[in-house]
Structure 1
Amino acid sequence: MEFIIVTGMSGAGKSTAINCLEDMGYYCVDNLPPTLIPNFASLIVDKRQHYDKVVLGIDIRGGILFDDLFTSLDALKVAGYEYKIIFFDCLDEVLIKRYKETRRLHPLARNERIQEGIEKERLILTEVKNKADYIIDSTHLLPKDVKDVIYNIFTQKADFQNLMITILVFGFKYGVPIDADLVFDVRFAPNPYYISELRPLTGNNKKVEDYVMSFEVTRQFTEKLKDMIDFLIPHYTKEGKNQLVIGIGCTGGKHRSVVIGNALYNYLKKCGNAVTIQHRDIDKDSKRGK
């Protein structure tokens, strides 16, 4: 029997993950009081109703009952059932934005500010996060990205290093992203903006890609960038880092940075990393070089 415990910060993506796992054939139960886990396990292995793959969504909506989680999980192991814990995390400011967009109340901040509820929850979840098998930081993930990560772990059986990589393509004229861990300036590369045929296109267009990559300096930089990120990933993972944001910027975030960002994304994905890409400024109008 395969048990998966899905938990983490409220608003960080647990529901999306549970829905995805259900689509993959798992029997899913959300918001089960932790104290009922051993009884639930005994029930579903009854010969009349047997399930091989089970997902339990556990979070602080259960109030003080959440304190029983590890006692119940220990009982699960004693009974011979193995389990994995997926923990969803997210930066506070992004969680606050999500709550404001959905106009939902944080379960621990009924009469307080959302930030106060998040701080309480993060403290309560410290132990379970430390014991999690998979920590997925959804700060820069869309729902489809969360589904891809879950699919790769439990269907493709891909190695998961608990390091979510986001390639954030941007334009310097619109500001350097404040949450980037690494920032690379690719304005040294020849600029397609000055080619009238290429100016209205973006780096996602094959003509622009071919132009940018036709120069030796661009190809050399891209290869050196891949090599450096390859070097850093295991060290960041060993340190316990869960989220790595790589900023790649040109003037407007439309041409050169897009091409090089896409190249790095395709390489890291091919290597089996959990990686997403965002083109922050690609659709912004500009009168200056991209």
Structure 2
Amino acid sequence: MPINRICIITGLSGSGKSTALDAFEDSGFYCVDNMPVDLLPKFLELPMESNTEINGFAFVMDLREKGFPSKCQSVFNYLKENGLDFEIIFLEADKKILVQRFSQTRRHHPLTHDSSLMDGITEEKSKLESLRNISDNVIDTTNTNVHELKSIVTAIARRHIKTDLLQISILSFGFKYGLPQGIDLLMDVRFLSNPYFVAELKDFSGKDEEVRNFVLNSPETLTFMKKYTDMLDYLIPLYKREGKVYLTIAIGCTGGRHRSVAVADEIAKHIREYSAQVYVTHRDLDREKKPGS
């Protein structure tokens, strides 16, 4: 794959670099933590198999590597001279907040071997000041929680890619066989007329045109589908903005064979008009045909 999407994450210890790296990984980037800056050019020269699932590379580099500030500029210049574009993201936070975070996590600061925590933070801030000045994005995480930071970094990651990151799964199921696990949105469509009780339809399923017409063209379903898809059209962009990677929508009826199948397929058809990664599973479609399906 072409190496044209490189992000370097750096900044103060305790400012949220691990969370930032997680956001890039969730966005389809190949991620490396604590990457020695001297090894970066050699790493990028390694032959890699073409993999459309990799949207780019993200590396965390910081003062855990001795001499990092003095070496990074020459390496970055080398990358530019060889036509490799990269973006530097610098994370920071108020000193008092960093002290509080280290106290809560009980982790060691990389520069506190012979000094206090506050002295170590002050020294780190000074050593990284020149790198901060050349960074493309400086993010202050003082008043930012983990979810907010991940949302901010995800927005940066998505500027580098064209794919729709949110994978939407539509699942039909039957309540009589139990609730599915790991769902985000649940809709019960047992209020719709049941094709099972129509003699000429009960042996068919929601995949058959006869049942689909019966379920989807009723006045109740037409009103429901308009209101429910309007709600999804409103929610899905908000989930994307929040940085959600997977969204599972479950549609249930009594047996999971007629109404939920037809409705799930129709919802998926609607969402595919603006979102490419939509997958449909009919959990109970092939179960034994029993009354109430």
Residues 1:83 and 1:224: Cα distance change in structure 2 (over 3 Å):
farther
Q: Which residue of 2 aligns with 1:166?
A: 169
Residues 1:56 and 1:271: Cα distance change in structure 2 (over 3 Å):
closer
The alpha-carbon deviation at position 247 of structure 1 amounts to 0.8
Residues 1:43 and 1:186: Cα distance change in structure 2 (over 3 Å):
closer
* 2:259 equivalent among 251, 256, 259: 256
Residues 1:57 and 1:289: Cα distance change in structure 2 (over 3 Å):
closer
Q: Does 1:2 align with 2:2?
A: yes
The alpha-carbon deviation at position 217 of structure 1 amounts to 0.5
Q: How does 1:215-226 map to 2 (within 5 A)?
A: 215-226=218-229
TM-score norm. by structure 1 comes to 0.53
Q: Which residue of 2 aligns with 1:24?
A: none
Distance 1:247 1:192 in 2: 20
The alpha-carbon deviation at position 193 of structure 1 amounts to 0.5
The alpha-carbon deviation at position 214 of structure 1 amounts to 2.5
Q: Which residue of 1 aligns with 2:141?
A: none
Residues 1:213 and 1:43: Cα distance change in structure 2 (over 3 Å):
closer
Partner SS for 2:250: strand
Stretches of 4+ aligned residues off by more than 6 angstroms: none
Q: Does 1:133 align with 2:160?
A: no
* 2:186 equivalent among 183, 206, 231: 183
Distance 2:239 2:169 in 1: 14
Residues 1:256 and 1:40: Cα distance change in structure 2 (over 3 Å):
same
The answer (yes or no) to whether the contact 2:173–2:255 under 8 Å persists in 1 is yes
Q: Which residue of 2 aligns with 1:192?
A: 195
Q: CA RMSD in A?
A: 4.4
Distance 1:133 1:174 in 2: 41
One-letter amino acid of the structure 2 residue matched with residue 133 of structure 1? A
Q: Which residue of 1 aligns with 2:114?
A: none
Residues 1:2 and 1:230: Cα distance change in structure 2 (over 3 Å):
same
Distance 2:180 2:194 in 1: 22
Greater Cα offset, 34-43 or 263-272: 34-43
The answer (yes or no) to whether the contact 2:251–2:260 under 8 Å persists in 1 is yes
The answer (yes or no) to whether the contact 2:4–2:84 under 8 Å persists in 1 is no
The alpha-carbon deviation at position 70 of structure 1 amounts to 4.0
One-letter amino acid of the structure 1 residue matched with residue 84 of structure 2? Y
Distance 1:207 1:38 in 2: 62
Distance 2:246 2:239 in 1: 9
Deviations 1:176-196 (A, max 9, x none): 113111110101111111122
Partner SS for 2:272: helix
Distance 1:82 1:43 in 2: 17
Distance 2:209 2:40 in 1: 53
Residues 1:251 and 1:81: Cα distance change in structure 2 (over 3 Å):
same
* 2:284 equivalent among 281, 284, 287: 281
Q: How does 1:63-78 map to 2 (within 5 A)?
A: 69-70=59-60, 75=76, 78=80
The alpha-carbon deviation at position 57 of structure 1 amounts to 9.1
Partner SS for 1:210: helix
Q: Which residue of 2 aligns with 1:47?
A: none
Residues 1:54 and 1:179: Cα distance change in structure 2 (over 3 Å):
closer
Q: How does 1:45-84 map to 2 (within 5 A)?
A: 55=51, 69-70=59-60, 75=76, 78=80, 79-82=82-85
Deviations 1:134-191 (A, max 9, x none): 6xxxxxxxxxxxxxxxxxx98xx5x52x322111111111111131111101011111
* 1:268 equivalent among 254, 257, 271: 271
Distance 1:185 1:166 in 2: 16
Of all paired residues, the percent bearing the same amino acid is 36
Distance 1:57 1:191 in 2: 42
Distance 2:268 2:291 in 1: 26
Distance 1:276 1:203 in 2: 17
The alpha-carbon deviation at position 282 of structure 1 amounts to 0.6
Residues paired across the two proteins, number:
193
Structure showing greater Rg = 2
Residues 1:284 and 1:4: Cα distance change in structure 2 (over 3 Å):
farther
TM-score norm. by structure 2 comes to 0.53
Distance 1:77 1:168 in 2: 46
Partner SS for 1:272: coil
